[in-house]
């Protein structure tokens, strides 16, 4: 399984690190250079961490683990109104970013109220595009247990619920963090920070679990490898949107319009195959974006076998006709 | 401030009291609220809040908050106490219309073609100001989805009952009882 790490050091001899990462079968996810300092986000096989750590020490750099690196997480509030939205939701999103995730804050169109709170199929489909979702709910147990649980009923990705009352478990969600309620100020007291840490810890755990599930039937290529190839596209290079290519656990989000760029994206070469042969490309519900879901190695293998069988059958029938 | 909360859920009750205190602090009217009573029933569902405020100290004359001078084109008002600036300008707009009132800068107002004597008569009702602020606090506090509302208001008490769908008569009676109870409440030696 891959571990995502952050290298914080100087540019001097940094190429040695890149080579080592490549040698151990890892990838560079992102490089951010400021003068002579450089931040490198890298993904390496778990068992090779010691080697990279040793190299970082040799180069005088700091190596830290960012457990949510290469993930995109949705933080969902019942509405974007001031009653639900501002403080806990933004603070949670901001805190998850410190763990390396790219977070998106989302308010439901009709999520307010008790019985009237609802989520549309479109909203569910949009949330399902992310790696995990954090639902920030209210202060009353009765309301959450009886009504609000419907909001994440058919969500396929792992859901973490942050709410006020002390609730141990809820149906259809992977973890619950209690003690986060409506407020009119930022979460900056020591106990608030401890709550934010607790949420991040739970999110890290569910993401880790999802990584393990994916690792049981590994992807054909790591999303970071596809990213390196996609970044060469002129549309991506010219894109002014923040983070034009976002890594997911099982694919990527490329922030260029699907209908304009699907053919170019589909024909990108990845280890001698076209991208469309190893991944599913689709139009994202997020405007002007393309979603890429990479197939597992076993699926690509079985597709190959199927193709070769069909080829053989065609050849046999052609031979029989002759 | 006397605070009383009724409702089946301890955490929800406490968090709403804390939220209300923070909102009052934010708006700056903590000292003006004498008593508050909440009845929160999430299973019904309804949310009732009744607030008793202190009596505001009468009206404030315009000369206490601004300097007035007569010019060729009208009366010039130079605000000294900025706290009253928004309410003064909205009162002037209400009295003379937007065409005749021009805000020259943050603290300067020109009242076109209006005599100084007329302006000197203006007074701002402190009670009305407080009432607006209390209402603002209540709108911020009330659950967003509870759009069906029944409100009662008297000189020193504001009671709002909010629910999601149907407003029941029994809840209305309850709100009226709470409102009456708050009106006669003696804050000095009382407990709710």
The neighbouring-strand residues paired with B159 are B50, B152
Contact B45 A84 (CB under 8 A): no
Only one residue has tokens 């989000």, namely A253
Paired tokens of A184:
């009119």
pLDDT for A185-220, tens place per residue?
Answer: 888 889 999 999 999 999 999 999 999 999 899 999
> Distance from B109 to chain A by nearest Cα, in Å?
33
Nearest Cα residue in chain B from A179: B11
User: Comparing A6-10, A134-138, A318-322, B133-137, which segment has the lowest mean pLDDT?
Assistant: A318-322
Residue A78: its chain B contacts at CB < 8 A? 144
Nearest Cα residue in chain B from A167: B11
Contact A164 B22 (CB under 8 A): no
> Distance from B9 to chain A by nearest Cα, in Å?
7
**Radius of gyration of chain B measured on its C-alpha atoms:** 21
At residue A75, what are phi and psi to the nearest 5 degrees?
-105, 115
Residue B9: its chain A contacts at CB < 8 A? 139-142, 165
pLDDT at A258: 93
User: What's the CA dihedral at B5, B9, B11, B16 to 10 degrees?
Assistant: -40
DSSP letters along B97-111, please? -TTTEEE-SSSEEEE
Q: Provide the percentage of residues in chain A whose pLDDT is more than 90.
A: 60
Residue B140: its chain A contacts at CB < 8 A? 82-83, 184
- pLDDT greater than 90 at residue B55: no
Residue B144: its chain A contacts at CB < 8 A? 78-79, 81, 83-84, 112-113
Residue A142 sits at the chain B interface (C-beta within 8 Å): yes
Query: How far is it, in rounded angstroms, from Cα A298 to Cα A293?
Result: 15
> Distance from A108 to chain B by nearest Cα, in Å?
13
DSSP letters along A17-48, please? HHHHHHHTT-EEEEEEEETTEEEEEEEEEGGG
Contact A116 B145 (CB under 8 A): yes
pLDDT for B131-147, tens place per residue?
Answer: 888 999 999 899 888 99
Among A107, A115, A139, the residue to mutate for chain B (most B Cβ within 10 A): A139
Residue A139: its chain B contacts at CB < 8 A? 9, 11-12, 15-16
pLDDT at B60: 87
Using pLDDT thresholds of 50, 70 and 90, give the confidence band for residue A288: confident
Alpha helices in chain A (DSSP H): 14-23, 49-58, 86-97, 121-127, 141-146, 190-216, 223-230, 234-238, 258-266, 275-278, 297-321
pLDDT at A97: 92
Query: How far is it, in rounded angstroms, from Cα A159 to Cα A170?
Result: 10
Contact A142 B16 (CB under 8 A): no
> Distance from A184 to chain B by nearest Cα, in Å?
7
Residue B139: its chain A contacts at CB < 8 A? none
Scan residues 180-209 of A and list those with Cβ closer than 8 Å to B.
181-185
pLDDT at B152: 93
- pLDDT greater than 70 at residue A128: yes
* CA distance to A105, A125, A178, A247, B52, per residue, from A94 (Å): 10, 24, 19, 18, 39
pLDDT at A84: 61
Query: How far is it, in rounded angstroms, from Cα A1 to Cα B18?
Result: 46
User: Comparing A43-57, A84-98, A163-177, A268-282, which segment has the lowest mean pLDDT?
Assistant: A84-98
Q: What average pLDDT does the segment A112-137 reach?
A: 93
Nearest Cα residue in chain A from B46: A114
Residue A313 sits at the chain B interface (C-beta within 8 Å): no
User: Comparing A251-260, A307-316, B36-45, B109-118, which segment has the lowest mean pLDDT?
Assistant: A307-316
Contact B42 A142 (CB under 8 A): yes
Q: Which residue has the higher pLDDT, B45 or B185?
A: B45
b/e B38-53 (16+ beta carbons within 10 angstroms → b): bbbbbeebbbbbbbbb
Q: What is the ipTM of this complex?
A: 0.77
Using pLDDT thresholds of 50, 70 and 90, give the confidence band for residue A87: confident
> Distance from B13 to chain A by nearest Cα, in Å?
9
Q: What is the bridge-based pairing of β-strands A279-283 and A290-294?
A: antiparallel
- pLDDT greater than 60 at residue B191: no
**Chain B residues whose C-beta sits inside 8 Å of any chain A C-beta:** 8-9, 11-12, 15-16, 18-19, 22-23, 26, 40, 42-43, 45, 140, 143-147, 164-165
């Amino acid at each position: 399984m891959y571990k995502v790490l952050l290298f914080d050091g100087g540019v001097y001899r940094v190429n040695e690190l890149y080579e080592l990462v490549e040698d151990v079968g890892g990838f560079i996810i992102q490089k951010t250079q400021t003068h002579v300092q450089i931040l490198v986000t890298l993904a390496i096989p778990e068992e090779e961490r010691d080697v990279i750590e040793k190299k970082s020490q040799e180069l005088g750099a700091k190596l830290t683990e960012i457990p949510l690196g290469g993930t995109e997480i949705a933080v969902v509030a019942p509405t974007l109104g001031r009653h639900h939205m501002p403080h806990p939701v933004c603070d949670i999103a901001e805190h998850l970013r410190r763990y390396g995730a790219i977070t998106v804050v989302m308010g439901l169109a009709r999520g307010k109220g008790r019985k009237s709170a609802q989520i549309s199929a479109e909203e569910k489909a949009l949330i399902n595009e992310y790696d995990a979702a954090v639902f920030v709910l209210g202060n009353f147990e009765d309301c959450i247990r009886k009504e609000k649980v419907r909001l994440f009923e058919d969500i396929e990705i792992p859901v973490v619920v942050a709410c006020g009352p002390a609730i141990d478990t809820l149906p259809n969600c992977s973890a619950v963090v209690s003690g986060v309620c409506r407020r009119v100020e930022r979460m900056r007291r020591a106990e608030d920070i401890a709550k934010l840490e607790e949420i991040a810890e739970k999110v890290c755990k569910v993401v880790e679990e999802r990584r393990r599930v994916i690792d049981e039937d590994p992807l054909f290529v790591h999303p970071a490898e596809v990213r390196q190839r996609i970044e060469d596209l002129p549309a991506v290079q010219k894109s002014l949107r923040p983070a034009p290519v976002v890594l997911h656990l099982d694919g990527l989000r490329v922030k260029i319009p699907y209908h304009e760029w699907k053919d170019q994206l589909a024909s990108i070469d990845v280890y001698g195959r076209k991208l469309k042969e190893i991944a599913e490309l689709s139009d994202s519900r997020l405007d002007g974006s393309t979603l890429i879901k990479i197939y597992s190695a076993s699926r690509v293998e079985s597709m190959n076998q199927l193709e070769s069988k069909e080829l053989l059958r065609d050849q046999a029938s052609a031979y029989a006709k002759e | 401030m006397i605070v009383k909360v009724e409702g089946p859920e301890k955490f929800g009750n406490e968090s709403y009291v804390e939220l209300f205190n923070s909102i009052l602090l934010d708006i700056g009217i903590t000292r003006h609220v004498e008593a508050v009573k909440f009845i929160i029933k999430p299973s019904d569902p309804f949310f009732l809040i009744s607030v008793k405020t202190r009596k505001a100290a009468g009206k404030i004359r315009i000369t206490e908050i601004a300097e007035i001078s007569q010019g060729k084109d009208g009366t010039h008002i130079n605000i000294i106490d900025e706290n009253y600036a928004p309410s003064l300008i909205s009162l002037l707009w209400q009295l003379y219309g937007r065409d005749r009132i021009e805000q020259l800068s943050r603290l300067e107002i020109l009242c076109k073609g209006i005599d100084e004597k007329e302006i000197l008569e203006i007074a701002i009702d402190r009670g009305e100001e407080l009432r607006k602020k209390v209402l603002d606090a209540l709108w911020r506090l009330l659950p967003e989805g509870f759009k069906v509302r029944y409100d009662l208001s008297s000189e020193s008490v504001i009671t709002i009952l909010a629910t999601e769908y149907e407003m029941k008569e029994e809840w209305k009676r309850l709100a009226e009882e709470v409102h009456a109870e708050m009106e006669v409440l003696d804050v000095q030696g009382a407990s709710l």
